[in-house]
Structure 1
Amino acid sequence: MKPSSGIPLPINTPRCPPTFRPYVYTDSDIARLINAVDGLHSTLIEPRTLRTLVLLLYGTGLRLSEALHLCFADVDLEQSLLTIRDTKFYKTRWVPTGTHLTQILHDYIKTVHTSPGTALDAPLLVRRDGGQLSASGVRRAFARLRSKANVRRTDGAPYQPRLHDMRATFAVHRLTTWYQQGADVQRLLPMLSTYLGHASIAATQVYLPMTPELLIEASIRFERYAMLEK
């Protein structure tokens, strides 16, 4: 066999895809989304359901699939506690909710689920016809809401903010608050990982892009540490 006279490599080197960077919603973004909900017309999902879903994801950092699979038996309003069953890693965990979010869930249940004796396995978040929401349908409704609220990326990325980015937003805001409070972030990071339902801290770090606020707080913490070491 005659040896090859060249290296069989492609003429054009394929371009590496850009690194995906989650979008971190600002308080202003969330306010615009909530204010735009009532003006959104959808045959699938009622405005109050979409509003509750957005605030639930923003306030807990749940995966979209986890939120959509919540049923009545998973919601304990008295204890302000959600039970997240059979998650991505086939585990069950408890997720506490704050006072404001608990009230939002209470009001939603009271106004949407008006039939007495609702089955414990009935879905919490429902379509207009009472059926369970689908992830694809919710994503389409949110895309229209995001466009109506004029919430968009300005960093040149080709993709626009997603519902799943609420998860990254929750993680970044929690970390920023810990820095501002002077907490031991390294000790608390495993707790955040457990809260989010991650198998490792490395998985949690994916949701922690450096926002300007987070960078400032981290820099302040490092400067204090450096001064103590002198």
Structure 2
Amino acid sequence: MLKAIEAYLALGRATGFAMLNAECLLKSFAAYATERGQTHVHAQTAIDWAARGPSVAQRDARLKAVCRFVRHVRVEDARHELPPANHFGARKTRRAPHIYSAAEIDRLIEAALRLRPKGGLRPRTYAALIALLSVTGLRISEALKLTVADLTRDGLLIRETKFRKTRLTPLHDTAAAGLEHYLARRRPCSEADPVFVDARGVPLRYIAVKESFDRLVSGAGIAPASRRRPRLHDLRHAFAVRVLQGGAEDRSRRHANMAALATYMGHVNIYATYWYLEATADLMRDVAVAGEAFFAEGRQS
């Protein structure tokens, strides 16, 4: 079984996937099966092993990792049993995002510019970072890994990000000018230097950015729509919604716009992009108008 697992992992890596989590889980399962004297996957053994996970979500993830492996290996060896993928009945839940308005983003940037030390690098760094996230929908990890060399004439070069993909993210002229202005105010830097740094010139750490952002949300007077505080990651949700709201009015172009948005955001498929959308008042108004026009057209014909 371990030999088959190694071949499966090698194929996945050859097609661009890191397979780190799959490797950890499958080798753990192989060791568990070996203790039972089994050389092929048995459905009940896979369920028993997966049940060792501390939560329903983790048990579900463990079992589905085995299922993916079995679907691959059964093509050549039908002796492997395919476990029922939904045995644990886990359902992925989605926390409702806070869709920042343009006014709220402005207040966040203004609050960042008031950070201490006044006139220092920190206020400008956080203002530039929040502005960039709001107009590009970048993952925070992608923004923090940017180097000066990644700022090209054609946009931002996002290297080896999630799913080990590299993509080019075009920037509006105003966004490019904002980044250039920020870098001009910084100390001299080489192309290998990170774009966003702290006062010591060290790359910003995610935990520091998150803690500062949470304080900025409070300082900007942004009230959450629910009991949960608006998150840094919600800027990515807000970007996706804003793009959809500002898309072409021609409904025949909506599919092309969604495909372009998925590519721009670095998604493997369009379903991941749907995860970022939220039913805002403006979007629901557009849906209502489109529906009324559709039924009116049907009545006339």
TM-score interval w.r.t. the shorter chain? Answer: 0.7 to 0.9
Change (3 A) 1:183 1:136: farther
Give the secondary-structure state (helix, strand or coil) at the position aligned to 1:82. strand
Selected match of 1:36 from 83, 108, 111: 111
Higher Rg? 2
Residue pair 2:113, 2:126 contacting (<8 A) in 1 also:
no
1:16-44: CA deviation from partner (whole Å, max 9, x where unpaired) = 99741111000110121122223223799
2-structure distance, mates of 1:201, 1:18? 18
The residue correspondences of 1:68-147 to structure 2 (distance < 5 A) are: 68-76=144-152, 78-79=153-154, 81-112=155-186, 114-115=187-188, 118-147=189-218
Change (3 A) 1:202 1:40: same
Give the secondary-structure state (helix, strand or coil) at the position aligned to 2:168. strand
Residue pair 2:147, 2:195 contacting (<8 A) in 1 also:
yes
Give the aligned residue type for 2:272. A
The number of equivalent residue pairs is 208
Give the secondary-structure state (helix, strand or coil) at the position aligned to 1:133. coil
Q: CA offset at residue 168 of structure 1?
A: 0.5
2-structure distance, mates of 1:187, 1:130? 42
Once the two structures are aligned, what percentage of the paired residues are identical?
34
1-structure distance, mates of 2:165, 2:291? 36
Change (3 A) 1:226 1:28: same
| Structure 1, unpaired ranges of 5+ | 1-15
Change (3 A) 1:59 1:38: same
Residue pair 1:42, 1:141 contacting (<8 A) in 2 also:
no
Q: 1:57 aligns to what?
A: 133
Give the secondary-structure state (helix, strand or coil) at the position aligned to 2:125. helix
Q: 2:274 aligns to what?
A: 205
2-structure distance, mates of 1:42, 1:163? 22
1:2-24: CA deviation from partner (whole Å, max 9, x where unpaired) = xxxxxxxxxxxxxx997411110
1:89-134: CA deviation from partner (whole Å, max 9, x where unpaired) = 101001011111111001011111x32xx33221011111000000
| Structure 2, unpaired ranges of 5+ | 1-90
Selected match of 1:160 from 201, 205, 229: 229
2-structure distance, mates of 1:211, 1:184? 20
1:131-157: CA deviation from partner (whole Å, max 9, x where unpaired) = 00000000011111111111121x3x2
Residue pair 2:148, 2:194 contacting (<8 A) in 1 also:
yes
2-structure distance, mates of 1:145, 1:98? 25
Give the secondary-structure state (helix, strand or coil) at the position aligned to 1:49. helix
TM-score of the two chains, using structure 1 as the length reference: 0.84
Q: 1:148 aligns to what?
A: 219
Q: CA offset at residue 183 of structure 1?
A: 6.1
Q: 1:22 aligns to what?
A: 97
Q: Comparing both chains, which one has the higher relative contact order based on Cα–Cα distances under 8 Å and sequence gaps of 6 or more?
A: 1
Report whether the alignment pairs 1:172 with 2:241: yes
Residue pair 1:179, 1:218 contacting (<8 A) in 2 also:
no
Q: CA offset at residue 187 of structure 1?
A: 2.5
1-structure distance, mates of 2:295, 2:191? 55
Q: 1:6 aligns to what?
A: none
